[in-house]
Amino acid sequence: MKRLADIKISTLDLVPVRADKGAAQSLRNSLDLAQHVERFGYNRFWVAEHHNMDGIASSATSVLLGYLAGGTSTIRVGSGGVMLPNHAPLVIAEQFGTLESLYPGRIDLGLGRAPGSDQMTARALRRERSGSSDDFPDDVAELIEYLGPRFPEQKVIAVPGSDTNIPIWLLGSSLFSAQLAGMRGLPYAFASHFAPRYMHEAIRVYRNHFQPSAVLDEPYVMLGVPLVVAETDERAEYLATSVYRRILNLMRGKSLMQQPPVESMEGLWLPHEREAVGDFLGLAMIGSPAKVRAKLEVLVEQTQADELIFTCDLYEHADRIRSFELLAQAVRG
């Protein structure tokens, strides 16, 4: 039985944008956060591909990863994830092969099958490319081939990329990728930071379908967890209102630019919206270090996860850094 002290902790940065700061500051904040969590002992620092969202600045994921890896020295850096239907597998193999060549042994390639955007934006991204989420299993297989050892008579190679054997993760918020990850013997990350409802079922499907591979002898599960830690429960609840407001705007189809915390959400959301935000954040760890530690111990006991990856979208950058610092102290203390 795994205990909280046994598992690895990592960071997923959504590179949030404030209207009064702009994307450039968000990107600099991302590197600063990566440098801090590296010192705090975190295992990975991932960013995710999103498009046409004014409050998220990680659209050029591989470019950003080069910036982050170049500014850090030991922490693993990766995508959580690249939305593979938006790209030809060869292009991703070359991009991540380049990253691995520059920063050997530190690059992760997490793959998702969603577009990471609305359908209109997906069409703008793909243009003449006919790829869709239905092609995902074949695209994953093709990408693995490009990143593996070159075989005789191979006509198309990724340079850089070939024989880099970059760790590939499958990401998901439903059961499809869980089954595929298990069948291919790949590590699996579930997006429970925004879709916790199917978490237990996805873990079960993944483990039941797992087949040992050259990559893994046994299943490896990482779970996404929303995080707001502060010195007191009251302070954490106050800071979390920024997160509530951001998700509320997402549900309303409004700007995702970060908004400052408020003393109360009363009057800002309707009862059904409050319930929907609560469902979205069903796995959120909000509170003092002691409270969060206790909740995490239950989560690990119930899921036997191997790793937890935390996202923390607070209005003030200093509060985000402090939240990750307090979490590291709580987990390791």
pLDDT lower than 70: segments of the chain: 115-119, 121-133
How far is residue 281's CA from residue 50's CA, in Å, rounded to a whole number? 19
Q: Residue 295 carries which DSSP code? A: H
How far is residue 185's CA from residue 195's CA, in Å, rounded to a whole number? 23
Residues 6+ apart with CB under 8 A from 306: 2, 7, 8, 220, 221, 222
Strand ranges for the chain from DSSP E: 8-13, 44-47, 76-83, 107-112, 168-172, 188-190, 221-229, 285-287, 307-311
How far is residue 159's CA from residue 136's CA, in Å, rounded to a whole number? 22
Which pLDDT value is given to residue 155?
92
Residue 233's Cβ-count burial label (10 Å; 0-12, 13-18, 19+) is: middle
Q: Which domains does the chain have, with CATH numbers?
A: 4-332 (3.20.20.30)
The residue whose two tokens read 């978490």 is: 199
Task: Say what the pTM is.
Answer: 0.94
Contact 166, 186 (CB under 8 A): no
Which pLDDT value is given to residue 114?
78
Contact 75, 38 (CB under 8 A): yes
How far is residue 292's CA from residue 233's CA, in Å, rounded to a whole number? 9
Q: What is the chain's Cα-based Rg?
A: 19
